[in-house]
Structure 1
Amino acid sequence: MTLRIWSALAPQLGLLSALLLGGCAVGPDYVRPAMTQNAHFSREEPLTGTASSAVPGGAAQHLIEGMDIPGLWWTLFRSSELTGLVEEALRASPDVAAAQASLRQANELVYADRASLFPIVVANASTTREKAKFGAFPPELLTINAASVSVSYAPDVFGGTRREIEAAAAVAEYQQFELEATYLTLTASVVNTAVTLASVRDQIAVTKDLVRIQEAGLNLAKSRLRLGAVSNSDVLAQEAVVAQTRATLPPLQRQLDQARHQMTAYLGRFPNQEQVEHFELAGLHLPEELPISLPSSIIEQRPDVRAAEARLHQASANIGVTIANELPQFNLTGSLGFNASRLVDLFSPGTGVWALVGSVSQSLFDTGARWHRKQVAVAAYDESAAHYRGAVVKAFQDVANVLRALDTDADELKQQVDAERAALDSLELTQTQYRLGAVGYVNLLTAQQTYQNAVLARVRAQASRYSDTVALFQALGGGWWNRSKNTSQAQAGQVISPRLDQ
């Protein structure tokens, strides 16, 4: 009899569960705010190309609108050493490992929350030994053996549970894009550090060359002093210039060591495990074709914007959760069991018991607590919307800044190359005139200082062009959507879709 009743009720309970699962969810359905209408990177004509210079890193760069961004964009610099360091950093960085772990946590929380949509089944078994009548003699002892299965289910009538799952999935999406942002920041930092190493190393080499030039001038001054052609003050002045130039080498060496230590940290190593590298600006290829994304694509490509949008989605779902909490809460509980004094009779006819309980609860007075919680959720949504708008505006600002830097830094390098060439011609002419006694020593010192400043400025301008290129790839999102699964999603786990039908 008991089994027949349970069998008759099971299909109805299943149908009720299916109907409730397919019901509507209260609260707003998330819609991405429209923010990029009439938005662009500049009021001027789009940049299509840059100036060129006849030095390493001086090639003209052409910007192609709509060109896709390669997932492994750092390989465009054509340095196997650089590519190897980036790959090692992605494998060994503690920041990447932490971001991957955060994503796994968020995904598991989504799985845990999804379980709330289904009934909970609990099996129980017990044996009880008790005295039936206290004080009776002889004592009457009873043994009760019981076995039961209970099912409890909270129907998601108003969609509060589904909104909670939606919010949890949005958090997982946020962690996914935080991971992508970590990848992008790390790869850009490794490449920029390599550029810094190359730049500082070139500056050290240039400074050493200048020291040799100035030492040659010092020897010439000493020779002319012995001949009585110059005064001792001229020799002392040249010695001061040599000493001043040498004094610039220790700070440059410090910058080189700090950049090496930074690179070592990106690789997840300690300073004593530093890897010897040999970056030079001449050994890095400057990409000549650069992508420029459509303005409408920026919000899809930037990990920080997508992360901010995921937070906005989470806040929207939380509004639905608070609304559902204001409405009646339903609960269904059913149990089927057997009780017998002897274990062998436990499942015999006549020992079965069953129960089916349905309940509904509705808070009538809570001093406005749930209403205020809903207002908190609405305010949190407004806050997230403001953060999202700020992230979009910053994304456009970053691209605009980089485009301007690409143009002006290319022009600057061209001017610095011309200035260096003119300074070298002036120095060689002044040296010749000084040997012939046509100009004074002050003229030679001035020419040497001008040439030194021009060479160092040219090296820094070269490095800026590489850094600008890195900044452009970073500002456009880094091409994470084109990256092989071997480097990101396959290592960390795919983000769980917020849709319940997947």
Structure 2
Amino acid sequence: MVLFATSPSPKATAIALAALLLAGCAVGPDYVRPQMDVPVAYKESGPWKTATPQLIDASHPWWEAYGDTTLSALVVQANAANQNIRIAEAQYREAQAIAAAAHAGFFPTVGLDAGANRAQTNSTGVTKRATTDTLGLAASWEPDLWGAVRRSVEAGNANTEASADDLAGARLSIQTTLAQDYLQIRVIDLQRDLYASTTAAYAKALELTQHQYAAGTVLRSDVALAESQLKTAEAQAVDLEAQRSQLEHAVAVLTGQAPASFSLAPLASSTQTTPASLSSTAALRVQLPVTPAGLPSELLERRPDIAGAERRVQAANANIGVAKAAYYPQIVLSASGGFSAGNLASLFNTPSRVWSLGAALAQTVFDGGLRRAHTDQAVAAYDASVAQYKQTVLGGFQQVEDNLATLRVLDRESALQAQAVQASQLAERLALSQYRAGTATYLSVVTAQQLSLTNQRTAAQVLGRQLAASVSLIAATGGGWTATDATSGN
């Protein structure tokens, strides 16, 4: 209610001074980042230092390191339209509102009331009717003597920061998933080119056997083998269409579109498929980012999940203080002031003024163990959040190690597979020449052709695994790469 300037009473002054003296108290443990043993360096490569959350910038255009304008456009579209990102963004705003609600506990509650009351009384046989008009303000405030509000605000702020990390993590997850799906589509396009040239070669081989069979120089079984070889390759090419369609549908959903309204044009067919093109990103018109200096010791610090897990530890720690504050008495200060009169004309006259000041102290004496249970619950939640944080960090170690090892192994495998493709293509040409000369059976041609096709498709698949592992490594390190410091030509 409305408060009027009057000299405070000694009792009110004492209460106010006590509130100010105790305002700095906050029960519960102060937050300290959980300690854990970490390796000095990665097993695979690079120095290591303890991960500490830093500002996450999941909108950093790391995808530009691949040098594909179509991929960049799709990621930008996903950032704007993906529904999972919108969910995370809404949850972040919800966390902000919850933190703001906790912060409101620092301030008093003020209310306005106005009313008119008419009553009849009967005293000593005399009936009286009177009207009372009132207008005033009322305020109440609970000083944060034990830090319950401060701990709630601390928890709310930490949860807000964790939600911001979740939003960054959602963006990064959508971006990396989109990049992997898109790059696998391009690898399938490369394999489609391979099957197009392969089936064309098999068709010529079938035509050769048909002519030789008509001339009576080969058996009918040679024609059957050639036809079987061609149809098998055509069937495998059709299977690629199903894989591509599913990936294209996934890309559509990731960019916030219905699959029916989205299509991704294939890459222009190469004039010739060579062992080098099957083992290199050049045929896909993309670049394979390399691990920049300092990875992973610096970049792992920008992982959204690690940052979010640590901030949830901070929130759980603050909640212990909130639970422990319930053991202490509550003090509520209240004040009211306004006007009360028998008619509106005299409502604002000096005799109609009314006011009150008050203080109330409340202490729970027995609650059947409720406060202890709440405190134990808060401590258990804190312990769980610490374990979750440590597990997240260890999982981060594993993911980076896995992808570093995968890229290292695939680099060697790609080089060996390129040699295998080259050797099998030579064997195919020799077998076909020998068959034309009549010094080899068509079975040897089929065997050489099957080996050549298998090696070429394996080379393309290894390239796809390299691209997928490179995107996974970016995700494992927080997605903070740029095209200038993380790209090298192949």
Q: Same fold (TM over 0.5)?
A: yes
Relative to structure 1, the CA distance from residue 195 to residue 36 in structure 2 (aligned partners, 3 Å threshold; closer, same or farther) is farther
Instruction: Describe the superposition over 1:241-281 as per-residue Cα deviations: whole angstroms up to 9, x where unpaired.
Output: 11111111221100011111111101111122113333575
Question: What is the aligned counterpart of 2:227 among 212, 233, 239?
Answer: 239
2:139: which partner in 1? 151
**Contact map agreement 1:399 1:475 (CA 8 A) in 2:** yes
1:300: which partner in 2? 301
* Separation of aligned partners in 2, 1:91 and 1:6: 60
**Contact map agreement 1:36 1:295 (CA 8 A) in 2:** no
Structure 1 SS opposite 2:396: helix
1:79: which partner in 2? 68
- Tell me by how many angstroms 1:288 deviates: 4.8
Corresponding position: 1:249 with 2:237: yes
Corresponding position: 1:126 with 2:127: no
Name the aligned partner's letter for residue 65 of structure 2. L
Name the aligned partner's letter for residue 130 of structure 1. A
Relative to structure 1, the CA distance from residue 347 to residue 14 in structure 2 (aligned partners, 3 Å threshold; closer, same or farther) is farther
- Tell me by how many angstroms 1:24 deviates: 2.1
1:459: which partner in 2? 460
2:445: which partner in 1? 444
Instruction: Describe the superposition over 1:186-226 as per-residue Cα deviations: whole angstroms up to 9, x where unpaired.
Output: 11111111111101111122112111111111111111112
- Tell me by how many angstroms 1:94 deviates: 0.6
- Tell me by how many angstroms 1:134 deviates: 7.8
* Separation of aligned partners in 2, 1:395 and 1:453: 35
- Tell me by how many angstroms 1:113 deviates: 1.2
**Contact map agreement 1:130 1:142 (CA 8 A) in 2:** yes
Corresponding position: 1:180 with 2:181: no
Name the aligned partner's letter for residue 346 of structure 2. D
Q: C-alpha root-mean-square deviation of aligned residues, in Å?
A: 2.6
Segments of 5+ residues of structure 2 without an aligned counterpart are 48-56, 269-280, 484-490
1:499: which partner in 2? none
1:190: which partner in 2? 178
Name the aligned partner's letter for residue 270 of structure 1. A
- Tell me by how many angstroms 1:404 deviates: 0.4
Instruction: Describe the superposition over 1:411-443 as per-residue Cα deviations: whole angstroms up to 9, x where unpaired.
Output: 111111111111111111111111001111111
Relative to structure 1, the CA distance from residue 456 to residue 17 in structure 2 (aligned partners, 3 Å threshold; closer, same or farther) is farther
**Contact map agreement 2:300 2:477 (CA 8 A) in 1:** no
Instruction: Describe the superposition over 1:387-409 as per-residue Cα deviations: whole angstroms up to 9, x where unpaired.
Output: 11110000000000111011111
Question: Which region of structure 1 is more displaced relative to structure 2, 326-335 or 11-20?
Answer: 11-20
Structure 2 SS opposite 1:248: helix
1:52: which partner in 2? none
**Contact map agreement 1:145 1:346 (CA 8 A) in 2:** yes
Relative to structure 1, the CA distance from residue 168 to residue 360 in structure 2 (aligned partners, 3 Å threshold; closer, same or farther) is same
* Separation of aligned partners in 2, 1:13 and 1:187: 60
- Tell me by how many angstroms 1:287 deviates: 3.8
**Contact map agreement 1:203 1:459 (CA 8 A) in 2:** yes
2:319: which partner in 1? 318
Corresponding position: 1:169 with 2:169: no
* Separation of aligned partners in 2, 1:332 and 1:188: 55
- Tell me by how many angstroms 1:10 deviates: 12
Structure 1 segment 223-234 matched on structure 2, within 5 A: 223-234=211-222
2:24: which partner in 1? 23
* Separation of aligned partners in 2, 1:299 and 1:29: 26
Corresponding position: 1:344 with 2:363: no
Relative to structure 1, the CA distance from residue 242 to residue 9 in structure 2 (aligned partners, 3 Å threshold; closer, same or farther) is farther
2:430: which partner in 1? 429
* Separation of aligned partners in 2, 1:296 and 1:15: 52
Instruction: Describe the superposition over 1:59-95 as per-residue Cα deviations: whole angstroms up to 9, x where unpaired.
Output: xxxxxxxxx9992110111111111110001101011
Relative to structure 1, the CA distance from residue 175 to residue 13 in structure 2 (aligned partners, 3 Å threshold; closer, same or farther) is farther
2:273: which partner in 1? none
* Percent identity of equivalent pairs: 30
1:358: which partner in 2? 359
2:102: which partner in 1? 113
Instruction: Describe the superposition over 1:22-71 as per-residue Cα deviations: whole angstroms up to 9, x where unpaired.
Output: 412110111111235434321x6549xxxxxxxxxxxxxxxxxxxx9992
**Contact map agreement 2:313 2:382 (CA 8 A) in 1:** yes
Relative to structure 1, the CA distance from residue 192 to residue 45 in structure 2 (aligned partners, 3 Å threshold; closer, same or farther) is closer
Relative to structure 1, the CA distance from residue 26 to residue 292 in structure 2 (aligned partners, 3 Å threshold; closer, same or farther) is farther
**Contact map agreement 1:298 1:395 (CA 8 A) in 2:** no
Relative to structure 1, the CA distance from residue 82 to residue 294 in structure 2 (aligned partners, 3 Å threshold; closer, same or farther) is closer
**Contact map agreement 1:113 1:168 (CA 8 A) in 2:** yes
2:204: which partner in 1? 216
Name the aligned partner's letter for residue 184 of structure 2. T
1:470: which partner in 2? 471
Name the aligned partner's letter for residue 167 of structure 1. A
Name the aligned partner's letter for residue 225 of structure 2. A
Segments of 5+ residues of structure 1 without an aligned counterpart are 48-67, 484-502
**Contact map agreement 1:299 1:392 (CA 8 A) in 2:** no
1:386: which partner in 2? 387
- Tell me by how many angstroms 1:285 deviates: 2.7
- Tell me by how many angstroms 1:140 deviates: 2.2
Structure 2 SS opposite 1:132: strand
Question: What is the aligned counterpart of 2:188 among 196, 200, 205?
Answer: 200
Provide the TM-score with structure 2 as the length reference: 0.88
* Separation of aligned partners in 1, 2:312 and 2:401: 25
Provide the TM-score with structure 1 as the length reference: 0.86
Question: Which region of structure 1 is more displaced relative to structure 2, 275-284 or 144-153?
Answer: 275-284
* Separation of aligned partners in 2, 1:373 and 1:272: 52
* Separation of aligned partners in 1, 2:352 and 2:208: 117
Name the aligned partner's letter for residue 392 of structure 2. A
Relative to structure 1, the CA distance from residue 248 to residue 96 in structure 2 (aligned partners, 3 Å threshold; closer, same or farther) is same
1:54: which partner in 2? none
* Separation of aligned partners in 1, 2:362 and 2:298: 48
Relative to structure 1, the CA distance from residue 417 to residue 351 in structure 2 (aligned partners, 3 Å threshold; closer, same or farther) is same
